[in-house]
Amino acid sequence: MLRESDLGIYSDVPFLDRLMRLLSAALYLLVVNPISAGILDIIVSLMFILVISSWLRAVSHSTLFGILVFVVLVIVGVIYGTVLVRLFPALERLVLGDTVFGRVGGMRRKIFFTSLKLAHAIKYEFNEHDSQRLQEHGALDRDLTEAWLKWSYRTNIYEKLTPPRPDFELSWNKLWNETILNVGTEGRTLRDALTSDEVAFSVIPLQLIKSTAFVSPFIKIFQLILIFVLARYLDGASQLVTVIQTCVALSFIFSILWFIHHAYKLSEI
**Nearest alpha carbon to residue 173 among 196, 201, 186, 154:** 154
Average pLDDT over residues 125-137: 80
Residue 6: pLDDT band with limits 50, 70, 90 = low
Q: 215 versus 246: which is more confidently predicted?
A: 246
Residues 64-111 pLDDT 10s: 777 787 788 888 878 877 887 788 788 888 888 888 998 898 888 988
pLDDT at 256 over 70: yes
Average pLDDT, the chain: 81
| Of 142-156, 195-209, 243-257, highest mean pLDDT | 142-156
Residue 162: pLDDT band with limits 50, 70, 90 = confident
Average pLDDT over residues 206-216: 76
Task: Find the helix or strand (DSSP H, E) in which 188 lies.
Answer: strand 188-189
Looking at residue 173, its pLDDT comes to 92
Tell me the DSSP string of 199-245: THHHHHHHHHHHHHHHHTHHHHHHHHHHHHHHHHHHTTSS-HHHHHH
**Nearest alpha carbon to residue 188 among 112, 134, 263:** 112
Residue 151: pLDDT band with limits 50, 70, 90 = very high
pLDDT at 2 over 70: no
Distance CA 157, CA 180 (A): 15
CB 31 within 8 A of CB 217: yes
**Nearest alpha carbon to residue 257 among 226, 218, 224:** 218
Looking at residue 268, its pLDDT comes to 66
Burial (CB count <10 Å: 0-12, 13-18, 19+), residue 199: buried
pLDDT at 226 over 80: yes
Looking at residue 198, its pLDDT comes to 63
Distance CA 26, CA 78 (A): 29
Residue 54: pLDDT band with limits 50, 70, 90 = confident
Average pLDDT over residues 217-237: 81
Task: Find the helix or strand (DSSP H, E) in which 136 lies.
Answer: helix 128-156
pLDDT at 147 over 80: yes
Q: Torsion-angle region of residue 212: left (phi > 0), alpha (psi -120 to 50) or beta? A: alpha
**Nearest alpha carbon to residue 148 among 109, 184, 107, 188:** 107
Neighbour tally for 106: CB within 10 Å: 19
- Looking at the DSSP bridge assignments, the partners of residue 188 are 185
Residues 172-190 pLDDT 10s: 999 999 999 999 888 888 8
Q: Is the dihedral of CA 93, 97, 99, 101 positive or negative?
A: positive
Q: 188 versus 34: which is more confidently predicted?
A: 188
